Amino acid sequence: MLKALFFTIVLAGSPATEDKDLKLNESNVKEIVNAMTVEEKCELIVGGRAEMFKPKAYKKVKAPGAAGVINEIPRLGVPATVLADGPAGVRIRPHRPGDDRTFFCTGFPIGSLISSTWNTEMVEEAGRTMGSEAKEYGVDVLLTPGINIHRNPLCGRNFEYYSEDPLLSGKIAASMINGIQSNNVGTSLKHYAANNQETNRLVNNSIVSERALREIYLRGFEIAVKESQPWTIMSSYNYINGEHASQSYRLLTEILRDEWGFEGVVVSDWGAGYDEAAQVAAGNDLLQPGYDYNYHNLLNAVQSGKLSMEDLDRSVERILRLALKTNRYQGYEYSEAPDLAANAEASRKIAEEGIILLENDDKSLPIATDRKIALFGVTSYDFIAGGTGSGDVHRPYVVDLKQGLDAAGYSLDEDVKAFYEEYMADEKMRCDRINGDNGWQIDRERAIEVTHKELIEKAALTADCAVITFGRVFGEGKDRNYYYSYLLSEDEQRLLETVSKAFHKQGKKVNVILNIGGLVDVYSWKDMADAILLCWLPGQEGGNAVASVLSGKVNPSGHLPSTISKDYWEEPSAGNFPILYADKPFNYSFYRQLDGRVRDLIKNIDYTNYEEGIYVGYRYFNTFRKKAIAYPFGHGLSYTDFGFDQMGVEEAEGGWKVQVRVTNKGEVAGKDVVQLYVKAPRKGLDKPERELKGFAKTPVLAPGESYVAEIFISKESLASFDEAAEAWRLEPGTYTFIAAQNSLDNSQKTKVHIR
């Protein structure tokens, strides 16, 4: 016994080598692994702890406010690695004690707006900008993009995510990743996988069919991995069919690495999982932010033989190879002073590109800048730039819609403006709770709208039109409430009704702006508005971006990344989502104890049944409930009109090259999106009415100008996952290729026969 104890101490305590010159480089990674003690290996795998426990460590790497660090090993030349959020920009603290500099970061638009651009080139460009800012702030890995599917409109984190469709999600993500990583800054594609609700997220068990998993919830990750090789993938909080995502060998090794060829590091979500040995053995290499108990459990697992040294070394090697890629390893002297003015312009540019014109009756928009606008709605004067939680950003400023309209040269009805400025001053406490820089505030109230009838009727006489903004902000850690978040409230409806009646009585237009993080009910009130503009949460330049579109300086070219149904209860997942709890005051994320037990007591809390299978979003509505669609997936109007013709398909290596000519048939320049859907034959497997298999955004086309869009459709992308065969299967038959402007449109069609 004594001998064994002595041996253990020797094994554990002394470095395998005292070679002082042994420092990490590209060619000696395995040597470094062998030179490390088991403690050093465990410390590398377990993050550098949360900042609240190790503030000095964050100060040392000059990244106060970053989400996590990977420990350094100075004796072996292994640098620390800094991980910071998030999808809408770098999240670090803007002020540091004893330092009179500031460290604000550019607030980009939220993920749902980014995907609404359908513009992979511009997304990559925005990624380059976001990555350059991360680089200058010394961030080595930016914890973005989040691409969980918009399974239900009430998920609190949909704002960070891209779409109900995996192809759009995957292509946009790949562009974002390539853009960011072009700066030698890593990314973290998240949250892998089927993490589609916030309620009880640490323990909730997603019960998903294999086919839905493969075709819907994993597909976007597959596309992004194959087209961009993110430096890291973040495994998610939830269980999938009874197995914790961060402890699933099948998910993290067999599918992610063996099938898709992922070469990077898998990092846990913060505090996720409950069995460190199982996590590392499954292929979850890094545990963030890292807690002392993680370290001791991992060390004990290795010393007891529960976790093999081989598995431990495999993760250590992956983390070392990640460190080798970082600017920090390369010795880059980051400035901590990025060009925030230039980056603000980039944020505004992509915000303008992702704004969606949902409705524009009788050409209510654009509004000439010499017109007088009566500006209603609290949010018009307190614009919401982004969502809450880790996806928040400490921005230098936010341009409200009022400021944007002023800058664009509009005159505003002074009485209405004065009313709101006084009201907002009275309501400042509430407004700050809703939209202040409160960082991580799980839930936000909603502004209370006041209807001042006389003021509205007077404005209807003096102003040329009305603009009303409705706002919704929410975020990580909590799902949305159907009643006060999805529906317009009584005070909002009263305001809209009164403005609509007064201005329509004068033959004047009413334009509604939706400054929201996730979809809301539109169908029940849309007839009271002449135009509806969905600007999502458009980042710090939001007011300027919206004003550019309202004035026609920018012709809107955003398209819906998810379906807007006529009624929440028409949603295929309506009954399988925890909306009944979302009105409770506290955060359900930590509702259940994370103790390894998979509970099956409370539906939509302990477990959530993805009963709709592959029929998510337009896949469901197009196949079963077309009449329930208010605005279809892919919908987006323009101030001009486009026509498609001359569709052609030719066989190419591994698939088909599709060409469609797009012509601007209107009077103003603009961009359009060619959406390429495929109707597959229904043989052995049931199929959705159609599925998006490619898309292309045109450049700006002048009136009368044409452009031939080219889209490649891979043969493998037409296969369906056959659960019985546990394999992808491309069924023979006739496939209809549809070039469309939204998921209900059939502008151009052609057929392809597969034997």
The CB-of-476 to ligand GLC minimum distance in angstroms stands at: 6
Q: Which residue has the tokens 């390429």?
A: 676
For 522, the token pair is 């539109």
State in angstroms the smallest separation of the CB of 261 from ligand GLC.
24
Measured from the CB atom, is 19 or 437 closer to ligand GLC? 437
> In whole angstroms, how close is the CB of 691 to ligand GLC at the nearest point?
28
Is residue 162 within 8 A of residue 114, CB to CB? The reply is yes
Rule CB under 6 A: say whether 247 interacts with ligand GLC: no
Structure token digits, residue 635: 């919908």
- The nearest distance, CB 454 to ligand GLC, in angstroms, is 48
Which is closer to ligand GLC, CB of 477 or CB of 572? 477
Using alpha carbons only, give the angle 599, 603, 609 rounded to the nearest 5 degrees. 95
CA pair distance 727, 489, nearest whole angstrom: 48
Count interface residues toward ligand GLC (CB under 6 A).
Answer: 8
With respect to ligand GLC, which residue has the nearer C-beta, 143 or 180? 143
Angle of helix 490-505 relative to helix 453-462, nearest 10 degrees? 30
Span 14-53, contacts to ligand GLC by CB under 6 A: none
Q: What is the helix (H) or strand (E) element at residue 219, kind and residue range?
A: helix 219-228
Helices (H), 675-748: none
The CA distance from 627 to 698, in Å, is 30
CB contact at 8 A, 446 and 378: no
Question: Pick the catalytic residue: 85, 165, 269, 672?
Answer: 269
Amino acid, single-letter form, for residue 388: T
Q: Read off φ and ψ for residue 172, nearest 5 degrees.
A: -65, -40
Query: Which parts of 379-398 interact with ligand GLC (CB under 6 A)?
Result: 390
Q: 338 or 475: whose CB is closer to ligand GLC?
A: 475
Minimum separation from the CB atom of position 148 to ligand GLC (A): 10
Interatomic CA distance for residues 181 and 192, integer angstroms: 19
**Alpha-carbon distance 102 to 92, whole Å?**
11
Shortest distance, position 421 Cβ to ligand GLC, whole Å:
36
Cβ-based neighbours of 291, under 8 Å, separated by 6 or more: 46, 49, 50, 53, 271
Least distance (Å) from ligand GLC to the CB of residue 161? 11
Which C-beta is closer to ligand GLC: that of 86 or that of 538? 86
Closest by CA position to 401, among listed 530, 553, 533, 547: 547
Return the number of the residue (352 or 476) whose C-beta is nearest ligand GLC: 476
Q: Which of 644, 645, 642 is nearest to 666 (CA)?
A: 642
At its nearest, how many Å lie between ligand GLC and the CB of residue 394? 14
Among 143, 167, 194, 460, binds ligand GLC (CB under 6 A): 143
Q: Tell me the per-residue interface mask from 78 to 117 with ligand GLC, x by CB under 6 A, - otherwise.
A: -------xx-------------------------------
State how far the Cα of 573 lies from the Cα of 1, in Å rounded to an integer.
59
Minimum CB separation of residue 120 from ligand GLC in Å reads: 23
Instruction: Please state the length of the chain.
Output: 755
Least Å from the CB of residue 270 to ligand GLC: 4
393 versus 740: smaller Cβ distance to ligand GLC: 393
Q: How far is CA 237 from CA 166, 420, 697, in A?
A: 20, 42, 35
d(CA 509, CA 489): 22
Q: If DSSP codes are grouped into helix, strand and coil, which group holds residue 564?
A: strand
Strands (E), 495-604: 509-516, 531-534, 564-565
Considering only residues 572 through 601, tell me which ones interact with ligand GLC, judged by CB under 6 A.
Answer: none
Closer to ligand GLC by Cβ: residue 43 or 85: 85
- Residue among 124, 112, 225, 141 at smallest CA distance from 175: 124
**From the CB of 143, what's the least distance to ligand GLC, in Å?**
4
Cβ proximity to ligand GLC, 221 vs 631, nearer residue: 221
Q: Which is nearer to ligand GLC, 86 or 636 (CB)?
A: 86
Nearer to ligand GLC, 276 or 691 (CB): 276
Phi, psi of 57 (to 5 degrees): -65, -35
What is the x/- site pattern for ligand GLC, positions 198-237, by CB under 6 A? ----------------------------------------
Inter-residue contact 12 to 303 (CB < 8 Å):
yes
Beta strands in 48-168 (DSSP E): 68-70, 81-84, 95-96, 99-102, 141-142
Using CB under 6 A, pick the residue from 269, 285, 521, 672 that binds ligand GLC.
269
The one among 104, 270, 618, 737 contacting ligand GLC by CB under 6 A: 270
User: How far are the Cα atoms of 3, 390, 432, 601 from residue 441, in angstroms, in the given order?
Assistant: 55, 10, 11, 29
Closest distance to ligand GLC from the beta carbon of 557 (Å): 29
Q: Which residue reads 């090794």 in tokens?
A: 253
Distance in angstroms (rounded) separating the CA atoms of residues 321 and 530: 56
Q: Tell the smallest beta-carbon distance from residue 287 to ligand GLC (Å).
A: 12
* SS3 of residue 596 by DSSP: coil
CB of 236 or CB of 663, closer to ligand GLC: 236
Q: Which is nearer to ligand GLC, 388 or 742 (CB)?
A: 388
DSSP strands (E only) in 21-138: 68-70, 81-84, 95-96, 99-102
First to last CA, the chain: 69
Q: Is 722 a catalytic residue?
A: no
- What is the per-residue DSSP string for 300-356? HHHHHTSS-HHHHHHHHHHHHHHHHHSTTTTT----S---HHHHHHHHHHHHHHH-E
Contact flag: residue 67 with ligand GLC (CB under 6 A): yes
What SS3 class is residue 299? helix
d(CA 285, CA 280): 5
Phi-psi region of 257 (alpha: psi -120 to 50; beta: other; left: phi over 0): alpha
Residue 190 binds ligand GLC, judged by CB under 6 A: yes
Rounded Cα gap, residues 410 and 294, in angstroms:
58
Query: What one-character DSSP code corresponds to residue 456?
Result: H
Contact residues toward ligand GLC (CB under 6 A) are 67, 85-86, 143, 190, 269-270, 390
Question: Catalytic positions, please?
Answer: 269
